[in-house]
Amino acid sequence: MANPPLIVGNWKMNGTVEETLKMITELRHKLAPGTAQVAVAPPFTSLYSAAVALQDTPIKLAAQNMHWETEGPYTGEISGLFLKEIGCAYAIIGHSERRQYFGETDEAVNRKIRTALAQELVPIFCVGETAEQRKSGKTEAVLETQLKKGLQGFQMNDVKNMVIAYEPVWAIGTGKTATPETVREAHAFIKSLHDTRVLYGGSVKPENAADLLAQPGVDGALVGGASLDPGSFEAICRTAASLS
């Protein structure tokens, strides 16, 4: 595992400004210094308040998505320039829910990654297969295609400045968790193609964090539902630190 590990909480469409500030206050009190590298990704409406609340803490701020243009006639979209201005350090790009519900393509992901780097945001580039693709034995082919298209035109040094998150679609929000062996194999495959930090995401909880994070090639986690409970999220961070 990378030292220190990176644990990112993706809050998805959860958390009013008031709720966000309450969760951050609890998290600040619970997280011990040096537990792990930690970032949280509240909804867009809470990002600025979160940025203020996270000042003078080691906890970083992440955005859940961004547009590939800096400005322009794109109603309802958010620019990487805006995210950087309010203090974001990371941007989650290509999450399976963006692909599934909003038709996000590998080409769009590629453009977003390029813009994120230009704005000095660290992309958290998500890849992963569906249950049907896994059953058909296509996991590695799917991952290779997503990585190839998403990272087209980037040099090795560019990729080293990114984070890749392996999120098997069938394990996101379903309660199902990939076995440690499945995680180990997928991360080994991704690292055979790209030398960069790779996180695991897919129903990571305090109960399974140790088994998953202990696998070779797992450099941290992208946590969904469990990140909405400061106690659970802190437990995952503590587990990651104990394994580094």
Catalytic residues: 95, 167
Per-residue b or e along 216-229, where b marks 16 or more CB atoms closer than 10 Å to that residue's CB:
ebbbbbbbbbbbbb
For tokens 């203020």, name the residue. Answer: 52
Tell me the torsion sign for CA atoms 212, 214, 218, 222. Answer: positive
Helices marked H in 31-79 — which ranges?
47-53
Count Cβ atoms within 10 A of the Cβ of residue 242 and give its class: 0-12 exposed, 13-18 middle, 19 or more buried: middle
The tally of CA atoms less than 13 A away on the side-chain side of residue 99 is 21
